[in-house]
Amino acid sequence: MSATCEFQAKDYKSDLKPIWCPGCGDYSVVQGIYRALAAVGRPPHEVAFISGIGCSSRIPGYTTAYGFNTVHGRALPIAQGIKLANPDLLVLAAGGDGDGFSIGGGHIAHLIRRNIDITYIVMDNQIYGLTKGQLSPTSQKGRTTCTSPYGSLENPVNPLLYVLAYGAGFVAQASPTDLAGMAATLEEAIRYPGFAFVNVQSPCVTYGEEAQQIKGLKAISENLSAIGHNPADRLAAMDLAQHYGEKLHLGVFYKNPEPPPTYDALIRERQAQLSQGALPKERILDLFIKK
């Protein structure tokens, strides 16, 4: 049995005490993130954790990594900027389903098509919990909330199909029903060279419905590796993703076996090409002076 590990989960845990509701799924998610980061082994000062607004977006504060609790829905563009400014950083972005698929929904497509090397973790609880229980983009049709007293008339966004359709290279789902599996999935996502998306079904203990709590999630969960799913098969992944909301498939839906170059790598390559024919700094002014 070998077990040499430079970093331990506790090295990524800050002194700030989480103020989520007791029983919230996000406690397990942050624990899974600590463990995944320890397994990856990058020191906390080489990690940047960016979030939007919402209960789950508090997560950077509970880690010892660099953190930026940004504005609603804007975790991804800011994470992208950080990655491009300092490509050596390991960049994680996190938020809830409202933050990611409502106000921030427009950003996901662009990070995916650029293939920015960040890991995006969405804590999907199908409700706006921080603002006391309004419909979110992933709330099920018919769901009764304070903003839908007679039941929602809207179809929910399917986060898994959404990112698969845009061509994300790594798509997975996890849940606090299986902490070990979640830590392993997050680790694999972080190690993936490119945009990685992990949807975590994280129950809201205060505004979530009974079926969305741990017991209910366990009843519908199924491990993708146990059913023989091949994560290199994108179409099979899309087929399975259609069961979002009915079944809880856990594990990797899709992992591009031949990851394309990341945008940050292409930028560096372009910079290197252009710098070959570039004028020395002291001669740049000459470009603007008429001879």
Which residues of the chain form contacts with another protein (CB under 8 A)? 1-3, 5, 8-9, 17-19, 21-25, 27-28, 31, 35, 38-39, 55, 130-132, 176, 179-180, 183-184, 187-188, 203, 205-206, 213-214
Least distance CB 3 / another protein (angstroms): 4
Find the shortest distance in angstroms from Cβ 143 to another protein: 18
Q: Shortest Cβ distance from residue 131 to another protein (Å)?
A: 8
Nearer to another protein, 2 or 276 (CB): 2
For 177-198, the three-class secondary structure string (H helix, E strand, C coil) is CCHHHHHHHHHHHHHCCCCEEE
Contact 194, 170 (CB under 8 A): yes
CA 265 to chain centre: 21
Q: Is 25 left (phi over 0), alpha (psi -120 to 50) or beta?
A: alpha
User: Whole-number minimum distance, CB 177 to another protein, in Å?
Assistant: 9
In the bound state with another protein, the residue whose beta carbon lies nearer, of 18 and 167, is 18
DSSP character at residue 29: H
Per-residue tokens: 271: 């910079």
Task: Name the residue nearer to another protein (CB basis): 180 or 289.
Answer: 180
Closest to 73 measured CA to CA, from 106, 50, 104? 104
Question: Of the two residues 38 and 116, which places its CB atom closer to another protein in the complex?
Answer: 38
Q: Closer CB to another protein, residue 180 or residue 287?
A: 180
CB of 54 to another protein, least distance (A): 11
Q: Quick one: tokens of 63?
A: 């880690």
Q: Decide: helix, strand or coil at residue 59.
A: helix
Residue among 40 and 238 whose Cβ is closer to another protein: 40
Q: Report in angstroms how near the CB of residue 199 gets to another protein at its nearest.
A: 19
Q: Which helix (H) or strand (E) holds 129?
A: none
CA 37 – CA 189 distance, rounded (Å): 11
- Residue whose C-alpha is closest to residue 94's, from 117, 69, 113, 111: 69
